[in-house]
Each structure stands twice: as C-alpha cells, then as structure tokens.
Amino acid sequence: MVYEEQRDAVVGERSVAQLVNDLSEQTSRLVRDELMIALAEVKAKGKRVGLGAGLAGAGGLFALFGLAVLVVAAVLALALVLPAWAAALIVGGALLLFAGLLALVGKNQVQKASPPVPQEAVASVRADIDSVRERMRR
C-alpha cells in the first residue's frame, strides 16, 4: 500500500512528455530484447539445420559410393561370362539409358509444373482488393 502511494506520488510529479519518453524508451528496449532473443533462436536452429544437412550430404555421398561398388560388382559378374571390356560396356550403356530415361521424366515433370507465379495467391489478393474497393464505394 505504501509503495503504491509512493509510486503515485512519483508519477504525479512527472510530466506527460516524460512519461511518453519513458514509454518510447521502454518500447524500444523491449523490441531490441525481443529481436535479440529471436536472433539467438534462429542461430540455434540454423546450426541444427546445418548439421542435419551436412549429415544428409555425407549419407548421400556414401550412398553414391555404395552404388559405384554395386556397378563394379555387376561388371565383374558379367566379366565371368564375357570379356571384361564387354561387361563394362554393357553395364555403362545400361546406366546411360537409365540416366536418359530419368532425365526425360524429370524434364516432363518440370514442363508440367505450374508457372513460378503463385496463381492462387494472386487470385486471393485480387479478390481481397476487389472486396475492399466494393466496401469503400458503399
């Protein structure tokens, strides 16, 4: 109770300009502190994402090595019944055909994709603008 009376007396002695100045300073400090907290959170998440991406990349690299070993195994298996150069030629040709097929399918998928402009979002914004214009005319 005594504290509230002291506080009211102190506030009563301060001008409105001083109170507004204090509000501005406190708001500014609050915004800066919130930004610092957000920045720290983003940095922590960024480190986690970077580590995850690095581990995923390493996994992809080892998968590529594993695939290469399997290709060599296929060549060696064919080399048991054919000359080694013929076995390598057959496996290499099969891999190139498979790569070409994947490239064609990928190209078709890209061509079928919608244009980079988000059509639904543009339509939604236009509808919002039309709605605001209609309400302003009333």
pLDDT tens per residue, range 99-116:
999 999 999 888 887 666
Q: Has residue 72 got a pLDDT over 80?
A: yes
**Closest C-alpha among 52, 50, 54 to residue 42:** 50
Q: Tell whether pTM > 0.75.
A: no
The stretch 49-71 carries a mean pLDDT of 93
**Ranges of each domain in the chain:** 1-81, 84-138
The mean pLDDT value of the chain amounts to 84
- The beta strands (E) that lie in the chain are given as none
The stretch 20-26 carries a mean pLDDT of 85
For residue 105, the model assigns a pLDDT of 92
91 Cβ contact list (under 8 Å, min separation 6): 71, 74, 75, 78
Pairwise pLDDT comparison (123 vs 85), residue with the higher score? 85
Residue 91 near residue 71 (C-beta atoms within 8 A): yes
